[in-house]
Structure 1
Amino acid sequence: MQKIRKIFADKKGATAIEYGLIAALIAVAAIAAMQGLGNNLTKTFNNVASNMKST
């Protein structure tokens, strides 16, 4: 019975899982931000390229 209590009292594994979830959430947010930035950069470079062709 004491071994079972020790297993449930151990919080090290839970902390590692929490840090993993936080890192995954940050990665998802960074990917979403980079996609938006990439779309804006694509539009800007296409606009510049079309303006250079017309001159």
Structure 2
Amino acid sequence: MMIEYVKAWLELKTDTRAVTALEYGLIAALIAAVIVTAVSQLGTSLSSKFTTIGGQI
């Protein structure tokens, strides 16, 4: 029983696919957060510009 547990643990220890997938997931989440922030700031900026232009018309 103990030998099977150690073998299974050693196999999981050498398997790096899950770690790589997790890293890619974190990178994708960070990129998504940056995009959302940029679009939000751009929307606020455009809204104020259109308000200014509308007031001048």
Q: Would the TM-score normalized by the shorter structure come out above 0.5?
A: yes
TM-score, with length taken from structure 2: 0.85
What TM-score, normalized to structure 1? 0.88
C-alpha RMSD of the superposition: 0.7
The correspondence for 1:7, drawn from 12, 32, 57, is 12
Q: 1:41 aligned to 31, 40, 46, which one?
A: 46
User: Identity of paired residues, percent?
Assistant: 35
The whole-number CA distance in structure 1 between the counterparts of 2:24 and 2:56 is 48
Extract structure 1 runs of 4+ deviating beyond 4 A: none
Unmatched runs of 5 consecutive residues or more in structure 2: 1-5
